Structures are given as structure tokens and as C-alpha cells.
Amino acid sequence: MADGVASYGLVEDAAIAVSSGRIQWIGPHRDLPPDHADWPIIDFADRLITPGLIDPHTHAIFGGNRAVEFEMRLNGATYEEIARAGGGILSTVTATRAASMQDLIQEALPRIDALLAEGVTCIELKSGYGLDQDTELRMLRAAREIAKQRPVRVQTSFLGAHAVPPEFTGRADAYIDTVCIPTLRAAHAEGLVDAVDGFCEGIAFDTTQIARVFDAARDLGLPVKLHAEQLSNLGGARLAASYGALSADHVEYVDAAGVAAMTEAGTTAVLLPGAFYTLRETQVPPIDLFRKAGVPMALATDCNPGSSPLTSLLLAMNMGCTLFGMTPAEALAGVTRNAARALGLADAGSIAPGQRADLAVWDVSHPAELVYRIGFNPLHARIFGGEV
């Protein structure tokens, strides 16, 4: 490898011993223990091996698309005009409610496959486009089924507190109490929920409403995360941290008090440059403040039909550097080690004994190449559970 690789923690001329889907040993090949010396060998030559990539924030299960709205915006239509024409998130809710579980799976699989083709071995999938009990449960069941149809680890997040559905316009509190929380309990009883998410913003729910959802999550023993401080600062990051949240996501407008709360709680900042790019935002997340405060930074695609129709984690890494000022080493950590933290996964995101043998093998000479190129996929092989 070239100079400047120390920050990546690379092992030169490495060997990785794998058994039963777990890493048993890693180190220089010359130090391979004798009891591993006669194991079958796959030689990847002088290629780079990283942990399998992790996408810790996606909305990849939904019905329909919003390409026409994208064109309308480019032609000058405002968000309000698009909403009055039946567009916006509610158009996705309508399409998702009309879709069967099989429809949702078949529409999502091409998006999942695009991520897997770039070395992704773990993906988070949210509900949140149903906003009624039947559809929210159907989305979560579809997420569980995707893990059976593709070699990928799926973590589910219940996002019932995503938006106020049209039948509850002006009655957000009633929606939280009569639909969102009961649906969360039903989903948990069915084993469909790994974490609970919400959208804390002026166009969605306030901190008091989100707190009621988080109280229900805590009663069920479920971890929480939050869309916070994307468009304004309502104190969402501090709220999330007060519940020991796994992550606060977007966080463009988080302030020093929010960052301090995240530091104390060990909450990861999940950065979503795809939405920043698509919405042409100008408020950049406080990267230097996160660094100084020791807040781990993860990166994700935020794959969704409206604000981030992105299915390339490699491009999200590039955007994290070019738009937000992250370093290539931070970007790589953001889709491996820190992405695992954002999902509460202790057995993923690094190459170490005991970790899952989920790996990506790259045709590159330096780790920075994964971030530097645009629209180029250097993946040589993807290893999931020890299987190439």
C-alpha cells in the first residue's frame, strides 16, 4: 500500500482466518498460527479487504416513485404546489398503502441489489410510508422477507412517527396515541422491530410527541434513534440523547448543547449527504464540533423516493468528503465501524476475532480510492457470513 495509510489501521500482507461465519484470527500472513495453516485458502492477492459496508439509514421500502415531482421542482414548482397536486410524502403513502407485501419486496429488491453490488452486507430498513397499522406492519414484514431473499443482514426501524397522515390532519397528538404507539406495540409483538425512529421537525412532530413514542419504545425494551435538526433546531438531538439514542440523523442544525448531549450519551451522528444534495441545502453538519467532542460520525444513503433517491453508499462517502469536509478515513469508518454503532451492532463493522465474517474485497491500491472516484465501483468480491 502507498504512504498515508496508518490512519486506516491496515495490516499489510494480511491473513484472515474464518470459521462458521466468524473471524477467528487476523494478522500478518507470516504470523498465521499453526492450527490455521492447513485451512483452505482463498488468495485475493494485493487487494484491499475491508469490513462489509453498512448502510445505517434507509427508507428503501416504498411504493411508486416521485420522478415527476423532481421534474416539477426543476421547473419551478414549490413544495406547497407539489403537495396541492397530490405530491410529497403523502403521494408515497398513497402508493405504499396500495401495494401488497410482494409488490413492496419486488420494488425494493433492485435498490437493495444496487447496494449489495457495492459491498454492502448490512442495511437498515424503515417503515414510515404507511402511517396506518396494516401498512406499517406490511412494510416491516417485507423488510424481514428481504433478509431471506438476499444475503444481507437487515435491521428494521419502526418509523410510525414520520408524518401526519391526511386523515389526521391537524390532529397529530391523536395520531401518535391512537395509531403510532399501538402499531409499535403490535409490530414488537410480532418480532418486527429492532429499533424505533421518529422525525422531529416543524413539518412532522415536536419533542413532546416524539417523547411519548420513545417512552413506549423504552417500555418495550427497544433502542431509539431520531431524525433530528435537519431543517431547524427543535432540540431533537438533546431529546434523543436523553433516551440514550443509538443515533441522531441529519443533524445539520444541531448546536453545541446538542452535540454535548450526544457525547455524554454515546449517540452517533448519522450524516446524510444525499438529502443535503438533493434538497440543495446550505447548512452543513458541524463536522469539526463532532470531531472535537468525540461524537462518532456514520454515513448513509438515506435511500428514499423524495429527498434522497440514492442507492450508492460509495457516492455517499464521496459526498461526505466533498460536501461536508470529512476525511476519506472518516468516510470509511462512517460506513463500517461507526455505522455498526449507529445500529447497535457489536459484531459488525470491523475485522477482528469474534466479528461476523462480512467483508468486502476491493481492486484498489489505497483506501482513499473508495471515496475519490465518482460513479465507479471497484468491488472485487463480497463475503457474507464467510461465503464469497
Measure the CA dihedral 312/102/213/335, to 10°: -20
* Same domain, yes or no: 255 and 367: no
**Grid cell locating 46:** 494485493
Question: Which residue has cell 391523536?
Answer: 174
Tell me the three state secondary structure of residue 331. helix
Quote the CA–CA distance of 378 and 369 in Å, as a whole number.
9
- Helix, strand, coil proportions of the chain in percent (round to 5)? 40, 20, 40
Residue 69 within a domain:
yes
Q: Is 133 helix (H, G, I), strand (E, B) or coil?
A: helix
Inside any domain, residue 243: yes
Helix (H) or strand (E) holding 373: none
| 129 assigned binding-site residue | yes
Domain annotation covers residue 1: no
- Identify whether 9 is part of a domain: no
Per the annotation, does 366 bind a ligand? Answer: no
304 and 286 together in one domain: yes
In this structure, the answer to whether residues 22 and 100 fall within a common structural domain is no
Q: Is residue 3 part of a domain?
A: no
Burial grade of 78 (CB within 10 A; 0-12, 13-18, 19 or more)? exposed
Judge whether 6 lies within some domain. no
d(CA 344, CA 244): 11
Same domain, 316 and 221: yes
pLDDT at 375 over 50: yes
Q: Could you tell me if 80 and 61 lie in one domain?
A: yes
- pLDDT higher than 70, residue 75: yes
Q: Is 29 annotated as a binding residue?
A: no
> Alpha carbon of 378 to those of 22, 51, 119, 317, 357: distances in Å?
25, 15, 9, 14, 20
Q: For residues 368 and 281, state if they share a domain.
A: no
Asked whether the predicted pLDDT for residue 15 surpasses 60, the reply is yes
Same-domain check for residues 164 and 296 = yes
E strand spans, 30-180 = 48-51, 53-55, 120-126, 153-161
80 confidence band (pLDDT: 50, 70, 90): low
DSSP assigned state of 52:
P
Based on the domain organization, do 267 and 367 belong to the same domain? no
Residue 378, C-alpha cell as written in the block: 471497484
The proportion of the chain whose per-residue pLDDT surpasses 90, expressed as a percent, equals: 90
Distance, CA of 241 to CA of 268 (rounded, Å): 10
219/290 same-domain check: yes
* Residue 76 placed within a domain: yes
Q: How many residues does the chain have?
A: 388
Is residue 188 part of an annotated ligand binding site?
A: no
Q: Domain check: are 144 and 36 in the same one?
A: no
175 marked among binding-site residues: no
User: Do the Cβ atoms of 143 and 123 come closer than 8 Å?
Assistant: no
Residue 19 structural domain = 14-48+357-383
Residue 162 annotated as lining a ligand binding site: yes
For residue 225, give Cα distances in angstroms to 269, 346, 383.
Answer: 10, 17, 29
CB 57 within 8 A of CB 341: no
If you average pLDDT over every residue of the chain, what do you get? 95
Please tell me whether 103 is known to bind a ligand. Answer: no
Residue 305 lies in a domain: yes
CA angle 368-372-377, nearest 5°? Answer: 95
Closest among 266, 273, 232, 276 to 344, alpha carbons compared:
266
The amino acid that residue 96 corresponds to is T
> Residues 92, 226: one domain?
yes
Between the alpha carbon of residue 26 and those of residues 4, 13, 367, the distances in Å are 22, 11, 18
What mean pLDDT comes out for the span 288-306?
98
Instruction: State the maximum Cα–Cα separation within the chain, in Å, rounded to a whole number.
Output: 70
Given pLDDT bands bounded at 50, 70 and 90, which one contains residue 65?
very high
| Residue 306 assigned ligand-binding role | yes
Query: Does 250 show up as a binding residue in the annotation?
Result: no
Number of domains within the chain: 2
Q: What is the CATH number of the domain that holds 20?
A: 2.30.40.10
Residue burial 121-157, b: 16+ Cβ < 10 Å; e: rest: bbbbbbbbbbbbbebbbbbbbbbebbbeebebbbbbb
Give mean pLDDT, residues 366-372. 97
CATH for 84:
3.20.20.140
Helix 181-189 / helix 133-149 crossing angle, nearest 10 deg: 40
What would the mean pLDDT of 262-287 be, rounded to a whole number?
97
- SS3 state at 329: helix
pLDDT exceeds cutoff 70 at 5: no
Backbone φ, ψ for residue 327 (5° rounding): -85, 160
Q: Report residue 88's pLDDT band, with 50, 70 and 90 as the boundaries.
A: confident
**374: which DSSP letter?**
S
**359-362 and 379-383 as β-strands: parallel, antiparallel, unpaired?**
antiparallel
382 labelled ligand-binding:
no
Under a CB-based contact definition with an 8 Å cutoff, are residues 61 and 69 in contact? no
**Per-residue pLDDT at 383 exceeds 60:** yes
* Same-domain status, 29 and 55: no
233 is in an annotated binding site: no
Is residue 1 predicted with pLDDT exceeding 70?
Answer: no
Query: DSSP per residue over 183-224, as a string?
Result: HHHHHHHTT--SEEEEEESTTSB-HHHHHHHHHHHHHTT--B
Q: What is the pLDDT of residue 3?
A: 40
Cell of 253: 442544525
